[in-house]
Amino acid sequence: MGQRHLGRELALKALYQLDLCGDPDLGRSLSLFFDNFPAHDKAREFARVLVRGTLAEKDVLDRHLTGVLEHWSIGRLSRIDHNILRLALFELTRLSDVPARVTMDEAIELAKRYGDRDSGQFVNGVLDRLAEQLGLKGKGDETIALEDQAVAVKSD
């Protein structure tokens, strides 16, 4: 399992915990969290970036989510699905080094693992609409193509 994947899992768990507890001291909360969920420094740093960014922009993220939810409201979302969507949307819009496909695939995997049996499909549909609406569907495709070419050259 890659360090960024682990960082996303840690970020989801931290966001969920903060959602439930509402501790106003983010630094202290994250320190306590990482005391109980040890991980490699790279995973923890990535998780911190995701958590801090997601929380700093949660109102904007929720407005975007509200705009694409059909027959749903933010209040009806499970806390897990809501935090996965916020996290993925933050990553999609703010982390330019992560291709959209990677962000979406990772969010779907988190939803399948931590959500209910329909969460993967739900998260996929919402993120697909958001990526389309925000013009980010192809974000990073050129990076993936270059990496694929490099792999092909090495195997020749």
pLDDT digits (tens, 9 = 90+) for 110-136: 999 999 999 999 999 999 999 999 999
Average pLDDT of the chain to the nearest whole number: 90
Distances (CA, A) of 64 to 8, 11, 46, 74, 107: 21, 20, 23, 11, 17
| Whole-angstrom distance, CA of residue 87 vs CA of residue 39 | 19
pTM metric for this prediction: 0.87
Q: If DSSP codes are grouped into helix, strand and coil, which group holds residue 139?
A: coil
How many of the other CB atoms lie within 10 Å of CB of 38?
Answer: 9
Q: For residue 78, give both structure tokens.
A: 């499970």
Q: Which of 33, 22, 31 is nearest to 55 (CA)?
A: 22
Position 126 scores a pLDDT of 97
End-to-end CA gap in the chain? 27
Topology classification of domain 58-156: N-utilizing Substance Protein B Homolog; Chain A (1.10.940)
- Tally Cβ neighbours within 10 Å of residue 17: 19
Which pLDDT band, with edges at 50, 70 and 90, does 30 fall under?
confident
The tens digit of pLDDT for each residue in 4-15 reads 999 999 999 999
How far is the C-alpha of 153 from the C-alpha of 147, rounded, in Å? 10
* Both tokens assigned to 91: 């990553």
